[in-house]
Amino acid sequence: MTLYITCMGDDEMKKAKKYIPTASYTHYGETKPVEIKPVETENIYEKEACSCCGYLTIPVDTDGNKFDGFICPVCFWEIDTFINSENEESDSNGGLTLVQARLNYRTFGACDKRMLQYVRKPTDDEK
Ligand SMILES: [Zn+2]
């Protein structure tokens, strides 16, 4: 069995406005997609409020550093430590700004409409 993970380059990604990597595997000549989900790191680190939805979903290490590339399971905003303001386009989030992502979350429940299928409701200890 072979697992393939495809990640697009930055330019390609911006053009396609896609930021979820696609993965598939081939088993006995049959290629099947692999479901990509955000990583949940329960009970390991302190949690900080997500800069998009505001729920306590973002793990921080003992030095207070956020995990670059962590995807919030509640709104699907990807932590981007390279943006300096909420109006700056986030490459990790397909060119979305934090302002737009927050508005999207309040409007329909995910940072981007295509991410609605992946999000979940916040748990009690994330509120
Ligand atoms: Zn969030």
> What are 83-94's pLDDT values in tens digits?
999 999 999 999
Cα 69 to Cα 20: distance, rounded to the nearest angstrom: 11
Distance 23 CA to ligand 1 centre (A): 24
Query: Is the same domain home to 28 and 50?
Result: no
**What separation in Å is there between the alpha carbon of 2 and the centre of ligand 1?**
33
- Both 114 and 63 in a single domain? yes
22 and 53 part of one domain:
no
What is the phi/psi pair of residue 33, to 5°? -75, 150
Q: Whole-angstrom Cα distance, residue 5 to residue 20?
A: 11
Q: How far is the CA of 53 from the centre of ligand 1 (A)?
A: 4
Same domain, 28 and 53: no
Q: Helix, strand, or coil here: 91?
A: helix
pLDDT tens per residue, range 2-32 = 454 444 455 554 454 444 556 667 777 787 7
**How many Å from the N-terminal Cα to the C-terminal Cα in the chain?**
41
Instruction: Tell me, in angstroms, the distance from the centre of ligand 1 to residue 109's CA.
Output: 10
Mapped onto helix, strand or coil, the DSSP state of residue 12 is helix
Q: What is the pTM of this model?
A: 0.65
**From the CA of 49, how far away is ligand 1's center (Å)?**
8
The residue behind tokens 């030095």 is 63
